[in-house]
Amino acid sequence: MQTYKNKMQQASQLIGQQGTTWAGMNPEYVARMQLQNRFNTGLDIAKYTAKIMREDMASYDQDQANYTQSLGCWHGFIGQQKMISIKKHFGTTRSRYLYLSGWMVAAMRSEFGPLPDQSMHEKTSVPALIEELYTFLKQADAREMQHLFKELDEAQASGDQVREQAAQESIDNFETHVVPIIADIDAGFGNEEATYLLAKKMIEAGACCIQIENQVSDAKQCGHQDGKVTVPHEDFLAKINAVRYAFLELGVDDGVIVARTDSLGAGLTQKIPVSQSAGDLAEQYSAFIDGEEVTSLEQMQSGDMLLKQGDTCIKPTRLANGLVRFKPNTGADRVVLDCITSLQHGADLLWIETEKPHIGQIAELVNRIREVVPNAKLVYNNSPSFNWTLNFRQQVFDAWQEAGKDTSAYDRDRLMSQEFDGTTLSDEADERIRNFQRDAAAQAGIFHHLITLPTYHTAALSTDNLAKDYFGEQGMLGYVKEVQRKEIREGLACVKHQDMSGSNIGDDHKEYFSGDNALKASGKDNTMNQFAAI
């Protein structure tokens, strides 16, 4: 481990080698600037965070209580504040990541304005957001280190050796805010070459983990909407290969690929693959195609297709747009085949997009996958598209009915109503929600739990509350009581917004560069001094 003193010694030696030309350089200042910027490039970040993810995956394999979590962030500041809060409340960022949602990029980061989650946004906005997130996380490091350097200076000035040693140890054992980002590349934004080019940009920006889905790129839909169309396995595996080649080309040898399947809710395919040998993936995929059995060519009309499935020939069911329908009730079987095939061809983790958060349903799928790949692990979307309250109240209701328990006081279709709040049923449902991540990690193979769009919703909710109060009778008290006073009393560093934005870091740099001639912003007339005691 490089200590603060080691850094200073190295800087002093380097400066000394330059003679008088670098006499104005202070080795301690050099050491501080180096420690405040631990990662010089996005590839440095990708290599560092890939190692963390691999360690966490191995830890989960040993003990499924060691699952990991993340929240989706649509701006660097949001990601920064999330990790600062995690360090404040839990003392470490370990096992906590960030998620970059393609949905939020489309809805909030496109130059076209708000867009649906259909891969219509600029693909370059994905690596741009990765770079932005890491820029803000690195700035969080620099800010916290600046506070530690100030503590060290004050301890040395007062001659307090115990305090000085404590500050020194805090600097040497500093834990970065830089954590893995699971980054959404949608369906790859084109053919496999397009996927490779975008993956490279994402990795160069810092991504150690890329999530890719098996929908048709130019017909991609949000995973929780209708109209999803999947691609044959060979097409999807080509894109997994493209991402892996991008990782290897850039030297991120342990980069992580999450293979997402939307087959559970996808009833259509764009094309029927060509089988090269009996039982190959193309034949297995085509076995799910729906159609009318053909026993005579007289059943065929101009433009009809004929597909042989085993000993039977069918006329595939096609929509007016040429898309081909799968057989009903085959989604689960297609999911299992998708997942096994992906893991056998280079993917590291799975993502199964489900229509509800039901541990039994997820576990049933994972157990089938694990019959072939025993260490299969999931990344799972704890989606805001689910009505969690209604889903879990109905799950409890159904469980009670199955157990013969009296449910006459409840209306299953109206369980979202406030009249059921505080009931025995709602309390049990809430307890199931509270334990969902822990229980699903243990019972359904979920290594990583994420919420895709939480900060989209929290931004809307907090803004609504502020607007209601500030523009209403509360006036300025609406801001002071519900925002600033809470920031102060709950210890949010952001209340000192000048410090958070880097003003004090800039003052230090001015002093490094200009000495006593530096014009600082943190003088006695800075109104941030009103928060000095916080």
Assess whether 254 and 219 both reside in one domain.
yes
Residues 449 and 506 in one domain: no
Q: Is the separation of the CB atoms in 361 and 393 below 8 Å?
A: no
Structure tokens at 23: 């006499």
Fill in the amino acid letter for 110: S
Rounded CA gap, 445 and 58, in Å? 13
On whether the CB atoms of residues 266 and 227 are closer than 8 A, the answer is no
**Please, what is the end-to-end C-alpha distance for the chain in angstroms?**
32
Residues 444, 481 within the same domain: no
Domain-embedded: residue 236: yes
199 plus 239 within the same structural domain: yes
**Beta-strand relationship, 181-184 and 96-100:** parallel
Residue in 202, 38, 197, 222 with CA at minimum distance from that of residue 129: 202
Burial of residue 360 (CB within 10 Å: 0-12, 13-18, 19+) is exposed
The confidence score (pLDDT) of residue 224 equals 56
In a shared domain, residues 486 and 368:
no
Q: Other C-beta atoms within 10 Å of 47: how many?
A: 20
Task: For residues 505 and 449, state if they share a domain.
Answer: no
Contact 336, 258 (CB under 8 A): no
Q: Which residues contact 300 (CB under 8 A, 6 or more apart)?
A: 294, 306, 315
Query: Does residue 24 lie within any of the structural domains?
Result: no
124 and 75 share one domain: yes
SS3 464: helix
Low-confidence ranges of the chain (pLDDT < 50): none
Each residue's pLDDT tens digit, 348-396: 999 999 999 999 999 999 999 999 999 999 999 999 999 999 999 999 9
Could you tell me the CATH number of the domain that includes residue 83? 3.20.20.60
CB count in 10 Å sphere of residue 7: 20
Claim to verify: residue 133 and residue 189 sit in the same structural domain: yes
* Residue numbers annotated as active site: 222
Residue 409's identity, in one-letter code, is A
Q: Confirm whether 363 is domain-assigned.
A: yes
Q: Is the pTM of this model over 0.75?
A: yes
What distance in Å separates the CA atoms of residue 258 and residue 247, rounded to the nearest whole number?
13
Residue-level pLDDT at 532:
67
pLDDT of amino acid 505: 86
380 located within any domain: yes
Instruction: Assess whether 379 and 482 both reside in one domain.
Output: no
Cα 484 vs. chain centroid, distance in angstroms? 29
Task: Give the alpha-carbon dihedral of 53, 55, 61, 66, to 10 degrees.
Answer: -80
Give a yes or no: residue 12 inside a domain.
no
Examine residue 357 and state whether it is found in any structural domain, yes or no. Answer: yes
Q: Do 56 and 115 fall into the same domain?
A: yes
What confidence tens digit (pLDDT) does each residue in 145-192 have? 999 999 999 999 999 999 999 999 999 999 999 999 999 999 999 999
User: Facing residues of 261 across strands?
Assistant: 352
Task: Note the pLDDT of residue 8.
Answer: 95
Q: Please tell me the predicted confidence (pLDDT) of residue 312.
A: 93
Q: What pLDDT score does 527 carry?
A: 63
Asked if residue 490 and residue 444 are part of one domain, the reply reads no
Strand partners, 292: 315
Residue 483 has what pLDDT? 92
At 496 the pLDDT is 86
Tell me which residue of 45, 306, 336, 47 sits closest to 177, measured CA to CA.
Answer: 45
Is there a binding annotation on residue 184? Answer: yes
Cα-atom radius of gyration of the chain, to the nearest Å? 28
Asked whether residue 420 is domain-assigned, the answer is no
Identify whether residues 373 and 497 lie together within a single domain. no
Exposed, middle or buried by CB within 10 Å (0-12, 13-18, 19+), for 241?
middle
Report the half-sphere exposure of 441 (CA within 13 A, side-chain side).
20
Cα separation, 282 vs 115, in Å, equals 34
H helices of 250-330, in order, are 281-286
User: How far is C-alpha 406 from the chain's CA centre?
Assistant: 42
Q: 89 Cβ partners below 8 Å, 6+ apart?
A: none
Q: What is the pLDDT of residue 502?
A: 85
Domain housing 506: 472-513
Please tell me the distance from the alpha carbon of residue 68 to that of residue 448, in angstroms, as a whole number: 5
Domain count, the chain: 2
Within a domain: residue 334?
Answer: yes
